[in-house]
Amino acid sequence: MPGGSTRLTALIVACALFMQNLDGTVIATALPAMARAFGADPVHMNIALTSYLLSLAVFIPMSGWMADRFGARTVFRGAIAVFTLGSVLCGRADTLGFLVAARILQGVGGALMVPVGRLVLLRTAAKHELVAAMAWLSVPALIGPVLGPPLGGFLVTYASWRWIFDINVPIGLLGIGLVTRFVPNTRDAGAGRLDGVGLVLSAIALAGLMFGFEAASRPGLPSWTGATALGLGLLAAVLYALHARRHSAPLLDFSLMRIPTFMVSVVGGSLFRIGVGAMPFLLPLMLQLGFGMSAVQSGAITFANAAGAIVMKPAATTALRRFGFRDTLLVNGILSALSLGVCAAFRPAWPLAGIYLVLLGGGLCRSLQFTAYNTVAYGDIAPARMSAATSLYATLQQVSLTLGVTAGAAALSAAMAMASHARPALGDFSFAFLTVAGVALLGAPVSLFMSRTAGAELSGQTIAGRRHPA
């Protein structure tokens, strides 16, 4: 178990990440009400989502350099403050333009909160404490997307859409105070100059790719919009790769991919996130359109995923100590994909207890998988490269999560097109669930590229009857 200081730091970081994860999904439910308040076309309200994503894309890569240059506590506290200020401004918006500007400001804070928060924890916790500490950070990623839509629907129905932003204010103020009091201000005294060229190229590449993915999943936009953005993003990505090979300290250091544990976590974890990232999009939609449930009813069911994540948190350390990272990621990855595939069989005739059981089991498996990936990624990273690793990992994580929603929407649209359905039927959802489950399944065998004892120092893994020294 982690010490008291590490547990406290993990909780502080987890609360900040929960605020960011919740905000990313809660707004989607409120867009129609906001459009009425602004007198705007609801279709045009998508820019409130894409502006936030583009802001993330621009600023995530520079998070590691900023933490090294100004101190992890300073940047993390500032990120929470910027995100909270952006929330206040979003709640006061009276025009769409004002809202977009405030969402961009929120994105700046969110882009720095995720990687720098993780960096704070990595620099605070001892290696043998990381598994338990990282288990806390898997919970916000699982609960936020599940809780967001029903919470947004409740606030819009019974209060005001402005409350979806105002709820961040007390959390943010509390976070600023706790970070100031308890988080050390670690930094790298040898931080060099910012890679300006890399920042521009990575910003164009990530913004193009993420906007292109988003546009592809939104039928209201012309097809050429997404294709143009993806093309521009791919071109900038190639130019960045050429630039990074010549730069001594690139903003996103892909040489880290030569480390097996980091490579497995990035490649296998990205495939896994793409698959399970479609779940918060597909499941509520199926329950509401296919089963005829209300938003509140579907939210109560989908929360079983989050409940599974909470239950698994204390068990993650035991599982990894007993089986190790490689075997856990392989077997649990297969089980996670299968639990996602079983959702394709859901029908209104199923007893609710059966649906809850499947979702609870799936939440257990996904929580363990996220904890394992997020921990072993940093097991073999030297302290001097830790900030670079968190920047690259957070960047690719954000891209894969965006791809998850796109993959779910694309699979559902393809099934509807093949069946000539104007509205999605249960069979279309089944096809979509099986497709994303297949993507998640591809991530499991990637774990075989690292040794059976990889990360043993982190987990205290027992091998041949002996416990690895922690």
Q: What is the pLDDT of residue 373?
A: 93
What mean pLDDT is reported for the chain?
84
Give the pLDDT of residue 469.
42
Residue 289 has pLDDT above 60, yes or no: yes
> Under a CB-based contact definition with an 8 Å cutoff, are residues 436 and 408 in contact?
yes
The whole-angstrom separation of Cα 32 and Cα 49 is: 13
Lowest mean pLDDT among 208-222, 355-369, 430-444: 208-222
Residue 148 has pLDDT above 70, yes or no: yes
Section 167-173 average pLDDT: 90
pLDDT at 17: 81
Residue 328 confidence class, pLDDT cut points 50, 70, 90: very high
- The larger pLDDT score, comparing residue 219 to residue 375, is at 375
Q: Return the higher-pLDDT residue of 320 and 221.
A: 320
Domain 253-470, classified CATH 2.40.110.10, yes or no: no
For the ranges 134-148, 282-296, 350-364, the lowest mean pLDDT is seen at: 134-148
Q: What is the mean pLDDT of residues 15-28?
A: 76
Percentage of the chain with pLDDT > 90?
30
Per-residue confidence band for 21, with pLDDT thresholds at 50, 70 and 90: confident
Domains 1-184 and 253-470 fall in the same CATH topology: yes
The pLDDT confidence band at residue 25, using thresholds 50, 70 and 90, is: low
Q: Class of 1-184 per CATH?
A: mainly alpha
Residue 465 pLDDT grade (very low, low, confident, very high; cuts 50, 70, 90) = very low
| Domains of the chain by residue range | 1-184, 195-250, 253-470
Q: What share of the chain in percent tops pLDDT 70?
A: 87
Among 26-40, 77-91, 347-361, whose mean pLDDT is lowest?
26-40
Q: Which residues sit opposite 466 in a β-bridge? A: 463
Q: Which of 51, 203, 185 is nearest to 116 (CA)?
A: 185
For 99, the token pair is 């809202």
Separation of alpha carbons 187 and 459, rounded Å:
26
Question: Of 283 and 53, which is predicted with more confidence?
Answer: 283
pTM (whole model) above 0.85:
no
| Alpha-carbon span 245 to 232, nearest angstrom | 20
Query: Helix/strand/coil (H, E, C) string of the chain?
Result: CCCHHHHHHHHHHHHHHHHHHHHHHHHHHHHHHHHHHHCCCHHHHHHHHHHHHHHHHHHHHHHHHHHHHHCHHHHHHHHHHHHHHHHHHHHHCCCHHHHHHHHHHHHHHHHHHHHHHHHHHHHHCCHHHHHHHHHHHHHHHHHHHHHHHHHHHHHHHHCCCCHHHHCHHHHHHHHHHHHHHHCCCCCCCCCCCCCHHHHHHHHHHHHHHHHHHHHHCCCCCCHHHHHHHHHHHHHHHHHHHHHHHHCCCCCCCHHHHHCHHHHHHHHHHHHHHHHHCCHHHHHHHHHHHHCCCCHHHHHHHHHHHHHHHHHHHHHHHHHHHHHHHHHHHHHHHHHHHHHHHHHHHCCCCCCHHHHHHHHHHHHHHHHHHHHHHHHHCCCCCCHHHHHHHHHHHHHHHHHHHHHHHHHHHHHHHHHHHHHCCCCCCHHHHHHHHHHHHHHHHHHHHHHHHCCCCCCHHHHCCEECCEECCC
Q: Can you tell me the distance from the alpha carbon of 86 to that of 83, in angstroms, rounded to the nearest whole number?
A: 5
pLDDT one-digit tens code per residue, 72-93:
889 999 999 999 999 999 999 9
Question: Which residue did the predictor score with more confidence, 314 or 210?
Answer: 210
pLDDT at 227: 84
The predicted model gives 286-299 an average pLDDT of 78
Query: Per-residue pLDDT for 464 more than 70?
Result: no
Is residue 3 pLDDT above 60, yes or no? Answer: no
Q: Which residues pair with 467 in a beta bridge?
A: 462
Higher pLDDT, 291 or 316: 291
